[in-house]
Amino acid sequence: MASTLSKHDINGDWASSAPNLKKNLSLLSSEQIELPKMLLEMGQSHLFEHWPEPGVDDDEKRAFFDQVAKLNASYPGGLASYIRTARELLAESKEGKNPFDGFTPSVPSGEVLTYGDENFVQFEEAGVREGRNAAFVLVAGGLGERLGYNGIKVALPSESTTGTCFLQLYIESILALQDASCRLAEGGCKRQIPLVIMTSDDTHARTMELLESNAYFGMVPTQVTLLKQEKVACLDDNDARLAVDSHNKYRIQTKPHGHGDVHSLLYSSGLLNKWRDAGLRWVLFFQDTNGLLFKAIPAALGVSATKQYHVNSLAVPRKAKEPIGGIARLTHSDGRTMVINVEYNQLDPLLRATGYADGDVNSETGFSHFPGNINQLIIELGHYIEELTKTGGAIKEFVNPKYKDSTKTAFKSSTRLECMMQDYPKTLPSSARVGFTVMDTWLAYAPVKNNPEDAAKVPKGNPYHSATSGEMAIYRANSLILRKAGVKVDDPVNQVFNGQEVEVWSRIVWKPKWALTFSEVRSKVKGSCCISQKSTMVIKGRNIFLEDLSLDGALVIDSVDDAEVIVGDSVQNKGWILESVDYKDASVPEEVRIRGFRINKIEQLEKSFNESGKFCLKP
Ligand code: UTP
């Protein structure tokens, strides 16, 4: 039962600046009374200006305080702290203050890997060994406004040959790493690698449903934890007056706070200490639609373990001025240093302001000196806990108001504070070992962020980051990996789908348990194999070996784990072909039309080996 209010609370002068609130105080319980007090102290009396007499809309008024209580509880330091920070950041923004004032950028040190060489293979081995000491964190609370897909992004097929959605691909990759790592452990191990998924009100229910209706894609349900981020209050002006929702005058308008919330949520969940007590050492953060990521994870984790990095950012070579953040070491005139992502539109002016007259230019390698951040982080758990204990997981925020005019006094629409996961190193001491691992883009990075119309407008040479390019990148990576392992894979052909010209390689897909690392791929390819451009190859079983295979058509092969299957000789059939579909054709399912093609399965050789033993597939 809520306790009743004291006389002071009901009659007190504290509410005299908001007479409409004062009249309604009897609606509140004594636990709630601190909330309006705080709001008035923080200059928010406008929120009550339109409140009618008691007896009118009382339930809505109570709901207002429920919302305020939630906003207060879900922000480190509460709503008052949010408003104070907002005022500071809005004042700095109005002044035009550069957040990097006083800092000089230089190129940080990190590891640049070449796929498949001895060094890479060694890092992969080290990474697989460490895999059982890792926890994975998927940030999947984003709306995906740019993509405009009606479902959640993790439910989108990563490719349409098998229709495997991103979440399934991620979970199967983590399970493959778990198995491979546990096999290396002395005496075996039974550890289940934890997976946390950060959701939001926009994605939570559908993420849960996707997991439940697919038996967690093979994970044990207790292995997966969903942490829901809350939105933050919107701000109407430079005094950080909270914005009233235009659809409901008893609600404060809210918007997403950004993926930086993941740190405070993990901290407050208590999971980090649990993981440390269970002997885990690494937390790997990743995003919702990168179908290539797990090809880079083993080696990157190996780099973290070998170099003892507290923070390791995965990166790709970046062309100067390419719209992707650059990882830079920043040194302040007062001696502070940090290794941090600098957004591309800040990097060039920062360089010019600090003595690099040409700004962000390519080096003799043809790429920028500063590697491109792909926002996948590997953080050492012990150090992470130490830091979060100091900060509570709060991440340096920023505000990005769109001003009505040059006086910078009014906004075009309400704004809010935001924070980014990759800003975590900003609060670290200079002694922290923050590095990066650069991998080829074809291996590590192909997110699905843009809708077909916007992707088609991307300037030539820049990546589309669409469902079309994300899928094609998977075929290209698998083709290039097989080539590196000695398979003769035909060159791609160029085709246009949804107005985007892409390279179409042989549609080669394998389950992560077939091969997670280059050594595994190499061990499963023997003799002289070749695959034509029109071919499709799907490998689903673990112990499937390609030996003198000549494929010109479609081949789908599955086996139970204790079957060993050799696939050889010549496989020839009409295969599966890509047929263009129009993005605007509403009769085609959305997940198909956003990539601009469908797969017409004309003819294939499909075989499943369901018993243990040794088999040969020779048609
Ligand atoms: P994106 O940059 O893709 O942003 O987020 P978004 O919000 O999903 O998409 P747009 O900008 O509206 O088009 C990068 C990653 O961070 C997650 C996303 O789900 C994605 O994995 N994210 C983003 C969150 O988890 N929470 C947020 O508040 C924002």
For the stretch 279-338, pLDDT in tens is 999 999 999 999 999 999 999 999 999 999 999 999 999 998 888 999 999 999 998 899
Which atom of ligand 1 lies closest to the CA of 141? Answer: 25
70 CA distance to ligand 1 centroid (A)?
22
Residue written as tokens 């289940």? 192
Q: Is 298 in the pocket of ligand 1 (CB under 6 A)?
A: no
Q: Is 251 in the pocket of ligand 1 (CB under 6 A)?
A: no
Please list the helix, strand and coil fractions of the chain in percent, rounded to the nearest 5, in that order. Answer: 35, 25, 40
Q: Is 146 in the pocket of ligand 1 (CB under 6 A)?
A: yes
Q: Is 140 in the pocket of ligand 1 (CB under 6 A)?
A: yes
What whole-number distance in Å separates Cα of residue 305 and Cα of residue 312? 10
Q: Is 171 in the pocket of ligand 1 (CB under 6 A)?
A: no
Q: Is 449 in the pocket of ligand 1 (CB under 6 A)?
A: yes
Asked whether 217 and 173 are in contact (CB, 8 A), the reply is: no
Q: Is 139 in the pocket of ligand 1 (CB under 6 A)?
A: yes
Domains along the chain? 7-74 (no CATH), 93-449 (3.90.550.10), 453-617 (2.160.10.30)
pTM listed for this prediction: 0.94
Q: Is 526 in the pocket of ligand 1 (CB under 6 A)?
A: no
- State mean pLDDT over 482-495: 98
Cα–chain center distance at 352: 31
409 CA distance to ligand 1 centroid (A)?
29
pLDDT digits (tens, 9 = 90+) for 525-559: 999 999 999 999 999 999 999 999 999 999 999 99
Q: Which two tokens stand for residue 303?
A: 């780099």
Q: Quick one: which of 36, 23, 120 has its CA closest to 80?
A: 36
Q: Is the pLDDT of residue 3 over 60?
A: no
Q: Is 54 left (phi over 0), alpha (psi -120 to 50) or beta?
A: beta
Question: CB neighbours of 100 closer than 8 A, spacing ≥ 6?
Answer: 330, 342, 346, 350
What whole-number distance in Å separates Cα of residue 75 and Cα of residue 232? 8
pLDDT digits (tens, 9 = 90+) for 404-432: 999 999 999 999 999 999 999 998 998 99
Long-range contacts of 57-64 (CB under 8 A, 24+ apart): 57/250, 58/24, 58/27, 60/248, 60/250, 61/24, 61/27, 61/250, 62/27, 63/250, 63/251, 64/250, 64/251, 64/252
* HSE-up of residue 609 (Cα within 13 Å, Cβ side): 22
Q: Is 259 in the pocket of ligand 1 (CB under 6 A)?
A: yes
482 CA distance to ligand 1 centroid (A)?
32
Q: Is 256 in the pocket of ligand 1 (CB under 6 A)?
A: yes
Q: Is 435 in the pocket of ligand 1 (CB under 6 A)?
A: no
Look at residue 594 in the predicted model and tell me its pLDDT: 97
Question: CB neighbours of 283 closer than 8 A, spacing ≥ 6?
Answer: 134, 135, 136, 137, 266, 272, 275, 378, 379, 381, 384
Q: Quick one: which of 298, 319, 260, 250 has its CA closest to 66?
A: 250
495 CA distance to ligand 1 centroid (A)?
29
Look at residue 11 in the predicted model and tell me its pLDDT: 64
Residue having the nearest C-alpha atom to atom 8 of ligand 1: 142
For the chain, give the mean pLDDT: 94
- State mean pLDDT over 48-54: 94
Look at residue 16 in the predicted model and tell me its pLDDT: 86
At position 617, the amino acid (one-letter code) is L
When pLDDT is cut at 50, 70 and 90, the band that residue 374 belongs to is very high
Look at residue 10 in the predicted model and tell me its pLDDT: 60
Which atom of ligand 1 lies closest to the CA of 257? Answer: 28
- Ligand 1 site-directed mutation target among 259, 398, 466, most atoms within 8 Å of CB: 259
Buried residues in 273-308 as b, exposed as e (16+ CB within 10 A) = eebeeeebbbbbbbbbbbbbbbbbbbbbbbbbbebe
142 CA distance to ligand 1 centroid (A)?
3
289 CA distance to ligand 1 centroid (A)?
10
Least confident interval from 3-7, 55-59, 297-301, 461-465: 3-7
- Ligand 1 site-directed mutation target among 74, 139, 199, most atoms within 8 Å of CB: 139
Q: How many CB atoms lie within 10 A of CB 129?
A: 17
Asked whether 535 and 502 are in contact (CB, 8 A), the reply is: no
Look at residue 84 in the predicted model and tell me its pLDDT: 98
What whole-number distance in Å separates Cα of residue 19 and Cα of residue 49? 8
Cα separation values, 607 from 179, 180, 537, Å:
25, 25, 12
Q: Is 226 in the pocket of ligand 1 (CB under 6 A)?
A: no
Q: Is 325 in the pocket of ligand 1 (CB under 6 A)?
A: no
pLDDT digits (tens, 9 = 90+) for 355-371: 888 899 999 989 999 99
414 CA distance to ligand 1 centroid (A)?
19
Residue having the nearest C-alpha atom to atom 25 of ligand 1: 141
Q: Is 472 in the pocket of ligand 1 (CB under 6 A)?
A: no
- The one-character DSSP state at 447 is B
Q: Is 207 in the pocket of ligand 1 (CB under 6 A)?
A: no
Helix (H), strand (E) counts: the chain: 18, 31
Q: Which two tokens stand for residue 605?
A: 């050789």
